[in-house]
Amino acid sequence: MSAESPSPGPAFTQVQLIGPPAEVDRLMALLSSGAEVIFDSPSKPNDRGEVERTAQVVTHPVPRPPSPELGMSVTVQAVLETESGAFPRLPGGRAAQEVEESVAEALQAMPQVRRASSRLVSVWGMPASQE
C-alpha cells in the first residue's frame, strides 16, 4: 500500500533583466504574455541609464483542469490604449493603483466573477500617428 503525498504548491522561477528601460519593459511584456508573472518594482536607472527588473514566473506542478462545480482561476492580460491626457500621473504609484482598481472593478462586474484583482504591468507611450 503506497501513501500519496499531497501535491506541492506552485513553484516560482526568478528572472532578472538588466538593460535600457524600454528594452527591459519590452522583454517583461513578452515574458508576461506567455506566463503567469509576478513583478518586482524596476530600479531607478544607474549611471549607464540601465534599470534592473525582476520577475517571478509561477508554474503549477499538477495541471488542474477547470471544474464547473468548483469554479476556476482565470488569468487575463489586457492592453488598454488610451486617449491623450488619460491617466496623466502614470507611471506614478498612486495613478497605477487607480488604474488597477478601476480595471478590477470592471472585471468584478462580470457575471459569476467571485473576486477580481488587477496589476499594472507597464506603461508605454503611443507612437505618433503616421499621416
Residue 67 is assigned to a structural domain of this protein: no
Has residue 14 been placed in a domain? yes
The pLDDT value given to residue 131: 53
Q: Which grid coordinates belong to 22?
A: 524600454
Say if residue 109 is in the same domain as residue 82: yes
3-state SS record for the chain: CCCCCCCCCCEEEEEEEEECHHHHHHHHHHHHHHCEEEECCCCCCCCCCCEEEEEEEEECCCCCCCECCCECCCCCCCCCCCCCCCCCCCCCHHHHHHHHHHHHHHHHCCCCCCCCCCCCCCCCCCCCCCC
pLDDT higher than threshold 70 for residue 5 = no
> Does 26 lie in the same domain as 55?
yes
Chain segment 95-122, per-residue pLDDT in tens:
888 999 999 999 999 999 999 988 887 7
- Last residue within a domain, chosen from 20, 40, 62: 62
Q: Which pTM value belongs to this model? A: 0.53
- Asked whether residue 98 is domain-assigned, the answer is yes
Query: In total, how many domains does the chain have?
Result: 2
- Residue 24 sits in the same domain as residue 56: yes
**11-65 confidence digits (pLDDT tens):** 778 889 999 988 988 888 888 766 778 766 678 889 999 999 888 888 777 667 7
Within a domain: 90: yes
In a domain, 70, yes or no: no
Assess if residue 1 is contained within a domain.
no
In a domain, 71, yes or no: no
Q: Is residue 4 part of a domain?
A: no
Domain that holds residue 25: 9-62
Question: Predicted confidence band at 130 (pLDDT cuts at 50, 70, 90)?
Answer: low
51 and 15, same domain (yes or no): yes
